[in-house]
């Protein structure tokens, strides 16, 4: 099939080969893609989590370093952990002070956006 195209006000005639039959019906509904864990299962928290007492991942990436441990008291802006995505490191810091209840990830873990990383004790 020959087509006429314009690039920077220049007209070109190009020959195009159709690799697939474009007349096949297309699905009208495409299911959404859910974030997955390392094993390929959709990430779902096992119990409802109070977002006021959690720190969630701002990006999908790899945990490079965890700087806190359960029982540790932290201040606002303390470094909790470091994530890597596309060869760039992202520091995850505490939004508020408090005590660490649980660290849900380890170095080397792959995390998804909004996955819980750290839980804080209730005040």
| Residues 6 or more apart in contact with residue 83 via CB below 8 angstroms | 57, 58, 59, 61, 62, 63, 64, 89, 90, 92, 111
Q: Does domain 51-120 have CATH number 2.60.120.430?
A: no
Query: What are the phi and psi torsion angles at 94 (to 5°)?
Result: -75, 130
CB 77 within 8 A of CB 114: no
Q: Is pLDDT of 100 > 50?
A: yes
pLDDT band at 96 (very low <50, low <70, confident <90, very high): confident
pLDDT number for residue 22: 57
- Residue 21, classed as helix, strand or coil, is coil
* 80-96 mean pLDDT: 90
Give domain limits for the chain.
51-120
Q: Is pLDDT of 111 > 90?
A: yes
Rounded to an integer, what distance in angstroms lies between the CA atom of residue 103 and that of residue 66? 9
Average pLDDT, the chain: 78
Q: What would the pLDDT profile of 31-72 be if each residue is shown by its tens digit?
A: 444 445 555 444 455 555 556 688 899 999 999 999 999 999
């Amino acid at each position: 099939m020959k087509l006429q195209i314009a690039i920077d006000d220049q007209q070109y005639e190009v020959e195009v080969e159709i690799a697939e039959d474009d007349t096949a019906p297309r699905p009208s509904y495409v299911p959404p893609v859910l974030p997955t864990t390392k094993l390929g299962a959709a990430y779902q928290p096992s119990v409802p989590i109070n977002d006021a007492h959690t720190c969630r991942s701002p990006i999908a990436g790899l945990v490079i370093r965890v700087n806190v441990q359960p029982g540790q008291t932290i201040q606002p802006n303390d470094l909790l952990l470091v994530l890597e995505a596309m060869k760039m490191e992202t520091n995850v810091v505490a939004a508020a002070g408090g005590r660490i209840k649980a660290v849900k990830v380890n170095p080397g873990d792959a995390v998804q956006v909004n996955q819980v990383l750290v839980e804080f004790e209730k005040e």
